[in-house]
Each structure stands twice: as structure tokens, then as C-alpha cells.
Amino acid sequence: MKHFLSGILFFTLSLLQAQSVASPSKKITLDFKLTAKGQPTYTVSYKNKDVVQESAMGIKLKEKPALDANFTILGTKNATFNESWKPVLGEQSSIVNHYNELTVSLIQNETNVKMNVIFRIFDEGIAFRYDFPKQTELNYFIISDEVTQFNLTENYKTFWIPGDFDSNEYEYNETKLSEIDNSKIDMNNGIGVKSIPGKHIVQSPLMMKSDAGLYVNIFEAAVVNYPVMHLNVDVNKYKLTAQLVPNAIGDKAYLQTPCVSPWRTIMISDDARDIVSSKMILNLNEPSKIEDTSWIKPMKYVGIWWEMHVGKSTWDYAGSQNATNFADAPKASGKHGATTENTKRYIDFAAKNGFDGVLVEGWNVGWEDWNGNWKEEVFDFTTPYPDFDIAAISAYAKSKNVKMIMHHETSGSVANYERHLDRAFENMVKYDYPAVKTGYVGKIIPRGEFHDGQTMVNHFNFVARRAADYKLMVNSHESSRPTGYGRTYPNYVAAEAARGNEFNAWSVGNPPMHETILPFTRLLGGPMDYTPGIFEIKMSYYDKSKTEQVHTTLAKQLALYVTMYSPIQMAADLLENYEKYPDAFQFIKDVAVDWDESKYLQAEPGDYLTVVRKAKGSESWFLGAITDENARESEIKLDFLTKGQKYKAIIYEDAKNADWKTNPIAYKIRTVTVTSKSKINLNLAPGGGTAISFELMN
């Protein structure tokens, strides 16, 4: 790791009311100014044109004067930072963190409260945070609102989801900023718990594009001990204001100095690939606090999961889901998925096909009556069903060199989970489970809290930290979306925290453009456990009366392993479906999940994405290309390959007549020999994709 602090440091007891700092490349400029009323404001320009006009900064406090006016500048400090660091797992083995920094030290008249605003100006965007130094004038405080604004200059095309306090599992809407309106969304979308506070509140990351082709993304980084920030949109003035998620009694955050807010981030580029490949969010997080990270490993896994989604088996032992108490001694229905026998079948499959892990959901007592009733004591996270012999399974998996992945569904009863957490993790250690998939389906307990409030943000982070004490990896589902904390706790390997593939099994599903947007939004904060790899696309395969289906071709499901970065990646379909298509399945067996390099070749949010990645510690490359509902042809150059070497390229692509809706499974596979000078034509069907493996030839 290289680390150099350079540039000129200076600190001036200045009364200058304005400061300006450019990014290292000079493309982006940040201007800070105090208004006549002493309110801090900022302006951002890209290539000398304003992208964010003068925008207010500050916070409001409960029972104390607001920190949004009457400030004087005590001094300013400039610095340049340029280092590279190595993520434990990642899209690339080394990440450059290069920015110019401006710290503005403010003091408020009369209260004498000191507050700093820290800006970091990167080549792909800017970030700022509020910093509250330790001081007698401000010790404990409660944030009642954040004043932060983002005053945009025009009516961007926007990819948005409602600013729901409890769910981020929405399809994206693609409209103008002026057309944002949560009341117009079809809420028959399969989401169980919804808490939408207003018509014009949307979630971040918010991806936008101007008519002139400028890409702007508003997000946040390092959300630690703070609620999630949604955005309240003034649809007439294109002015966005921070909307913090409240707690049960309406407060936003409880803080004590010294402390900082999360970073508010604005990425800007005229090339969409700069956004999708940016590591700015990760860079804004603290380095790893885990010293020995040798136990944090990438995992490709199969699991007892999709079979419940398609109705072949059940999570619960009784197969009833009828609110019977377990105390009433439910009888086995014969449909229970998580049996010892079935688990061994998955272990055998994993061992045979080179998978690292097996996830089993529904293994533990409680699933007869777990969902939808705000019930506090559902699971104890340690008691297996009578037909799940955890000791025997653990021993069997060990004998096959397969790792078991634990499942902890909390049903939103976080109080209950925290009460049991140590015992649950001890149970994992006892049975040699190195990773846990957590779940938060349902209204939160403590009652009145939301999934995205400070309490829950702290919970998700706490679980990661506690898991690290036990050397366990965490993959959270239905959590608040990550904002780069995986850099600080690299055992927090992935999250769902967006609309995953599962919605395709039993709801209106995810439209073909969905996976082309996620890399510009959800994935900026960290890996997503999207659970790709569904081969039997249509649910009518299982039940003729069903019309639900995955909204992609089979080839696109393969491509998602590359486009949807995660170091823990599921082959989600039933084992028997993989056995029916062994040639296509070969790609899933081959594809890496941890990388030395990644290059985004083509990218347009809502339309398409093509990325190539070099497997960690290997000469193999993998390509994923996906499209939305439109067919797409393009030619790509293979100049990322090592010069002078020959590669065997196996191309998994849509068949000529493939179509996500009418003919989704049709694929073809061809093998060609290529070099860095070769070109390959990508032919994507509507809702289709292409996956390619490049293997160095000797």
C-alpha cells in the first residue's frame, strides 16, 4: 500500500467568505460560501458549468439553536490526498484514493458552537460532511432535520424509487425530475412493508442524466450512527433536500461530539462509465478495522431457497404458514425444504461442481408463524427443526470440503435478534458455518423504528462488527443499503438491500432494465446478493396457472455474474435445472467472484452495461453484457487482454430468436480463440445478455 500526503497545507485565521477547490483533473470545481446571513453554502461545477447551484448546508437541532446560519469562518485548510489501498475482496485488487480536501472551520455567533464542513473533490465527484469537534458548547445533541440541499440546474431524466423508510425493494421509475410522484406508482409490487412519507421523496443513490448527456448521481458514504438520507424533491425547482429517516418519536439522530455526519456525495461525468466504475464511496469510508482478514473469503454457493420461492417446498416444517404456534407440535408436511437429506443433496452438488458453500433457509424452528404480525419472539436462531440434523450436516459438509451458510431471518424483530446474537454466532462457530445471511422481512421491533433509521443503521453495522469478533461473514437482506462500510468491516461482504431476483418468482418482478440501473445506484455502496442464475425462467414450468417469470433471457442470467459484482454469489436455481443445461451451467462453475481488475466497456443506465473483469490471481477474464427490453448489437475490442497471448473465449449468448418474454431460455455457446487485437460482436436479445470466459491458452 502506498500512502502519500502531498500538496500545500495551510491554515488561515481568515475572514474570507468564499473558498474554491478543483478536483485533481480540474474538471470539477467546488465553491464554498457563507451567505449574508452566515449560512454555509456550496456550488459545484463541471467543466466550468454549474451543476449544483448555490445550495444550503447545515442541520437543525432538537431543543437547541439550528446550525444553519449565523456562522463566521474561523479558518480554512486545504490538503491533497493520494494513496492506493487493497480491498480484501473487490472488483479490483488496488484502489486509488485521490482528492483535494477543503476544511472550513465555522463558529456560530452567540452560541459559539464550532462546526466544520469538510469537502473532498475527486475527479468523478465531490463529497462533504459536517464535522462537530469536541467542545464545551456542544456535547450531546439531537438532530431534528438536515438542511443540506442539492439545487440542480435542470430537469434531469431520473432513475428513482420512492423514499420509503422501510423498503428499498422497488422497481426503478425512469421519469423527469418534475414527474416524480410516489402516488402514481402501482403498489401491487410484492413489497410487504411500506412506509412512504410523501409524494416527492425518493431514495438515494439517485441517478440522473441531462438532455446534454451529463450524468449526475447523488448519494452518501459512511452512514455510521446516522439515519439513511432520502431526498425531498422540489419538482418545480429541481431542488433536492436531505430527508433523514426518523425514529419512533420523530427524532433523526442522537450524537455526541466529537462526531461527523455521513458524506453527502455528488458524482458528475459526461461518461456514464466514470460513475459506474467509481470507487469514491468506498474511498470515503474508513480503512479496515479488522487486522487479520485471512478468514474473509469469496464464496460461490447454492442453496435451499429458490425451491421455496417457486412453491416446490416450504420454509416451515408444518407446511402450513397458518399461524399455528410451534408449541402445538406441528407435524411434518413432507414439503419442508430444509431436511437433512435435501441438504446433503445440495452439499454433494456443491462438492461435485466446485461451489464453496450451501445456504439453507427454513432450518430453524419458527417458520409456521413468522411473518406479517409484528411478532417479537419468533426465532431463537439456534433450534433446528427435528428433520434438520445440524451436527450431521456440519460433519458431512466438512467431509466434502463444503462450507455451510447460516440463515438468520429476524422477521424485523431486531430486539429479539440482538438478544440472541451471541448465542446465534456461537452456534455458527460450533457447527463451522463461516457466513450468515440475515433477513429483515417485516415491521421493525423496537416498534416505531424504520429499516432506514439510525437505530437500524447501527444494528446492521453492529451485527457486522460482532460477527467479526467471531470471524464470521455477513450478507444482509432487507437491510438499509450499504454506503461503503464494507471497506471498514470487510466481513460485511454483501447485502441485498434492493429489489433482488426473488421478486421475479412471485410478483410483477423486475423489468428488463432493472439490472442495468442497479450498478449505477445500489451497487455504488457495496456488493449486492442479487441471486442470479435462474435457468427455468417461467414459473409456469412449476405451475401452469402461474404467469410470473424472470424478466431476462437465460444468457443474461449468466452475464449477471459479471455485471452484478458480489464476492458472495449464488447459483440460485434448483439443482435439477442446472443438470438439464450443463453447458450453460459451465459458465457459473467457471466464473470468478473476486477480481484483480474490472473495466466497464459500455454503460448507459436503464439501457445496457458491459464489463470485463480479471479473476483474482489468475489470467482468466470474464465478460458480462446485458441489455434492457431492447435488443442490442455492438462490437467490443479485446484490448484488455494481455498482449501477445492467446485466449480461449467461450461465448454464452442469446440464440437468434431469443426474447426474455417469448423465448427466454434459447441460448447458444461458441468457442473462439482470441488475442488482445481481436474484436467480438455482442448480440443481445430483448432482455438478453452475453457472458464470456477468456482462458489463457498455453
Site for a second copy in 491-550 (CB under 8 A): none
In the complex, minimum distance from the CB of residue 525 to a second copy, in angstroms, rounded to a whole number? 24
> Per rule CB under 8 A, is residue 251 in the interface with a second copy?
yes
502 is catalytic: yes
Q: How far apart are CA 140 and CA 259, in angstroms?
A: 10
Whichever of 46 and 425 has its CB closer to a second copy, that residue is 425
Q: Which amino acid is at 404?
A: M
Query: 482 near 516, Cβ under 8 Å?
Result: no
Instruction: Tell me the window of 50-58, 112-120, 159-167, 412-420 that interacts with a second copy (CB under 8 A).
Output: 412-420
Task: Please name which of 436, 398, 394, 445 lies closest in space to residue 418, comparing C-alpha atoms.
Answer: 445
Q: How far apart are CA 152 and CA 156, in angstroms?
A: 9
Query: 526 near 484, Cβ under 8 Å?
Result: yes
Whichever of 111 and 586 has its CB closer to a second copy, that residue is 111
> Per rule CB under 8 A, is residue 403 in the interface with a second copy?
no
Q: How far apart are CA 137 and CA 684, in angstroms?
A: 61
CB atoms within 10 A of CB 198: 14
> Per rule CB under 8 A, is residue 415 in the interface with a second copy?
yes
> Per rule CB under 8 A, is residue 72 in the interface with a second copy?
no
Whichever of 32 and 450 has its CB closer to a second copy, that residue is 450
> Per rule CB under 8 A, is residue 380 in the interface with a second copy?
no
Whichever of 96 and 415 has its CB closer to a second copy, that residue is 415
Sheet hosting strand 357-360, strand order edge to edge: 492-495, 473-477, 435-439, 403-409, 357-360, 299-304, 568-570
Q: Pick from 72, 183, 373, 399: which binds a second copy (CB under 8 A)?
A: 373
Q: How far apart are CA 663 and CA 110, in angstroms?
A: 70
Q: Pick from 8, 13, 212, 249: which binds a second copy (CB under 8 A)?
A: 249
Q: At what angle do helices 582-590 and 554-563 cross, to 10 degrees?
A: 0
Whichever of 368 and 502 has its CB closer to a second copy, that residue is 368
> Per rule CB under 8 A, is residue 247 in the interface with a second copy?
yes
Q: Is 469 exposed, middle or buried (0-12, 13-18, 19+ CB in 10 A)?
A: exposed
At 228, which helix (H) or strand (E)? none
Whichever of 182 and 247 has its CB closer to a second copy, that residue is 247
Instruction: Tell me the window of 4-12, 348-356, 374-382, 658-666 that interacts with a second copy (CB under 8 A).
Output: 374-382
In the complex, minimum distance from the CB of residue 135 to a second copy, in angstroms, rounded to a whole number? 11
Whichever of 275 and 421 has its CB closer to a second copy, that residue is 421
In the complex, minimum distance from the CB of residue 452 to a second copy, in angstroms, rounded to a whole number? 16
Q: Count Cα neighbours of 349 within 13 Å in the Cβ-side half-sphere.
A: 25
Q: Pick from 326, 374, 581, 640: which binds a second copy (CB under 8 A)?
A: 374
Whichever of 394 and 458 has its CB closer to a second copy, that residue is 458
In the complex, minimum distance from the CB of residue 372 to a second copy, in angstroms, rounded to a whole number? 9
CA distances to 30, 63, 151, 233, 522 from 148, rounded to whole Å, are 15, 20, 10, 12, 22
In the complex, minimum distance from the CB of residue 478 to a second copy, in angstroms, rounded to a whole number? 19
Q: Count Cα neighbours of 631 within 13 Å in the Cβ-side half-sphere.
A: 12
Q: Which stretches of 147-279 are assigned E, i.e. beta strand? A: 149-152, 157-160, 173-176, 201-203, 206-209, 215-221, 229-234, 239-244, 253-256, 259-260, 263-269
Q: Count Cα neighbours of 189 within 13 Å in the Cβ-side half-sphere.
A: 20
> Reduced to 3 states, what is the DSSP secondary structure of residue 652?
strand
Q: How far apart are CA 660 and CA 549, in angstroms?
A: 9
Instruction: Tell me the window of 198-206, 211-219, 249-257, 477-485 that interacts with a second copy (CB under 8 A).
Output: 249-257
In the complex, minimum distance from the CB of residue 145 to a second copy, in angstroms, rounded to a whole number? 17
> Per rule CB under 8 A, is residue 391 in the interface with a second copy?
no
List beta partners, residue 95.
85
In the complex, minimum distance from the CB of residue 415 to a second copy, in angstroms, rounded to a whole number? 7
| CA 35 to chain CA centroid, nearest Å | 37
Q: How far apart are CA 201 and CA 275, in angstroms?
A: 23
Site for a second copy in 419-478 (CB under 8 A): 419, 421-423, 446-449, 455, 458, 462
Residue 690, φ and ψ in degrees, nearest 5: -135, 140
Instruction: Tell me the window of 8-16, 122-130, 246-254, 545-553 that interacts with a second copy (CB under 8 A).
Output: 246-254
In the complex, minimum distance from the CB of residue 27 to a second copy, in angstroms, rounded to a whole number? 40
> Per rule CB under 8 A, is residue 86 in the interface with a second copy?
no
Q: How far apart are CA 461 and CA 472, in angstroms?
A: 14
Residues 6+ apart with CB under 8 A from 246: 165, 227, 252, 450, 453
In the complex, minimum distance from the CB of residue 412 to a second copy, in angstroms, rounded to a whole number? 13
Instruction: Tell me the window of 50-58, 171-179, 190-198, 369-377 that interacts with a second copy (CB under 8 A).
Output: 369-377
In the complex, minimum distance from the CB of residue 441 to a second copy, in angstroms, rounded to a whole number? 16
> Per rule CB under 8 A, is residue 64 in the interface with a second copy?
no
Q: How many of the chain's residues bind a second copy (CB under 8 A)? A: 28
Which positions from 114 to 143 touch a second copy by CB under 8 A, shown as an x/- string?
--------------------x----xx---
Q: How far apart are CA 639 and CA 680, in angstroms?
A: 11
Whichever of 209 and 375 has its CB closer to a second copy, that residue is 375
Site for a second copy in 253-272 (CB under 8 A): 254, 256
Which positions from 328 to 367 touch a second copy by CB under 8 A, shown as an x/- string?
----------------------------------------
Instruction: Tell me the window of 31-39, 250-258, 618-626, 633-641 that interacts with a second copy (CB under 8 A).
Output: 250-258
Whichever of 436 and 588 has its CB closer to a second copy, that residue is 436
| CA 296 to chain CA centroid, nearest Å | 18
Whichever of 176 and 466 has its CB closer to a second copy, that residue is 466
> Per rule CB under 8 A, is residue 248 in the interface with a second copy?
yes
Residues 6+ apart with CB under 8 A from 3: 83
| CA 260 to chain CA centroid, nearest Å | 23
Whichever of 321 and 602 has its CB closer to a second copy, that residue is 321
Residue that the C-alpha cell 469538510 belongs to: 118
In the complex, minimum distance from the CB of residue 438 to a second copy, in angstroms, rounded to a whole number? 15
> Reduced to 3 states, what is the DSSP secondary structure of residue 60?
strand
> Per rule CB under 8 A, is residue 323 in the interface with a second copy?
yes
> Per rule CB under 8 A, is residue 197 in the interface with a second copy?
no
In the complex, minimum distance from the CB of residue 159 to a second copy, in angstroms, rounded to a whole number? 33
Q: Count Cα neighbours of 448 within 13 Å in the Cβ-side half-sphere.
A: 7
The active-site residue out of 169, 502, 536, 548 is 502
In the complex, minimum distance from the CB of residue 492 to a second copy, in angstroms, rounded to a whole number? 17
Measured on CA atoms in the order 152, 157, 163, 169, is the torsion positive or negative?
negative
Whichever of 247 and 577 has its CB closer to a second copy, that residue is 247
Query: 98 near 91, Cβ under 8 Å?
Result: no
Residues forming contacts to a second copy in the complex (CB under 8 A) are 134, 139-140, 247-249, 251, 254, 256, 323, 325, 373-376, 415, 418-419, 421-423, 446-449, 455, 458, 462
As annotated, the active-site residues are: 502
